[in-house]
Amino acid sequence: MLRFNVLLAAAMIGTGDAALAQQRLPVIPASDYSEEQKLAAAQFEAARRSPVFGPFEILMHSPQLMTQARAMGDYLRFKPSIGTTLSELAILITARAWSQDYEWTVHYPIALKAGIAPELAQAIAEGRHPEAMSDDEDIVYEFCRELHANKAVSDRTYQRAEKRFGRQGVVDLAGISGYYTLLAMELNMAQYEIPKDGRRLPRLPSR
């Protein structure tokens, strides 16, 4: 997985213009790092056992933010109280909400390996309500869908989630949605693109 992430991080192509993306926030070569950036990169590699990649390359332009974001991700990505299978579902929903191809490309295979059915992932990619979900998946789907679409969670959905996952669980679930929204915003803002063989999300009609 780490090798996969590193390979993906090599791509930096604009959504319609590679030069524009490079002009916005070019990847900083490690040889050009400031002392603060060197420290941030070393801490990243120690925590993730990988060189800086993907959205963290963007965040290296603000190394303190990168370090703080990485630290939050260390928990939300790898040790959330709701478990990594459901967290990957939440990440896919977030990637779809932000039409974030890189985020989807990275996390789609992780989600499938974690146990998310391809049919469920495909429905999310196409903006459809999945036809078959477990109770836990349905709770996470509705919680995240409402949070992204309505900027709030209904009482019914909240109560279902808290009853199932507890208060830490609902806080973590909102945290995962918010954290991957942050990364999606950075990626979209920088026009950070995926490799040519990456998985592009279908473009949905504007609502």
Domain ranges of the chain: 2-78, 84-187
The H-assigned helical ranges of the chain are 2-9, 18-24, 35-48, 55-59, 63-78, 84-97, 101-114, 118-125, 135-150, 155-190
Pull the structure tokens for residue 169: 């669980």
The answer to whether the CB of 6 falls within 8 A of the CB of 190 is no
Return mean pLDDT, the chain: 90
* pLDDT at residue 199 in the model: 81
* pLDDT at residue 15 in the model: 39
Pull the structure tokens for residue 194: 């995926």
Cα atoms in the 13 Å half-sphere on the side-chain side of 2: 9
Residues 6+ apart with CB under 8 A from 181: 94, 97, 98, 148
* pLDDT at residue 120 in the model: 98
* pLDDT at residue 23 in the model: 60
Q: Is residue 18 pLDDT above 80, yes or no?
A: no
pLDDT in tens, 154-185: 999 999 999 999 999 999 999 999 999 999 99
Global pTM reads 0.88
How would residue 205 be classed by pLDDT, with cut points 50, 70 and 90?
confident
Q: Is residue 8 pLDDT above 50, yes or no?
A: no
What percent of the chain clears pLDDT 90, i.e. is strictly above it? Answer: 82
* pLDDT at residue 109 in the model: 96
Residues 6+ apart with CB under 8 A from 125: 92, 96, 104, 201, 202
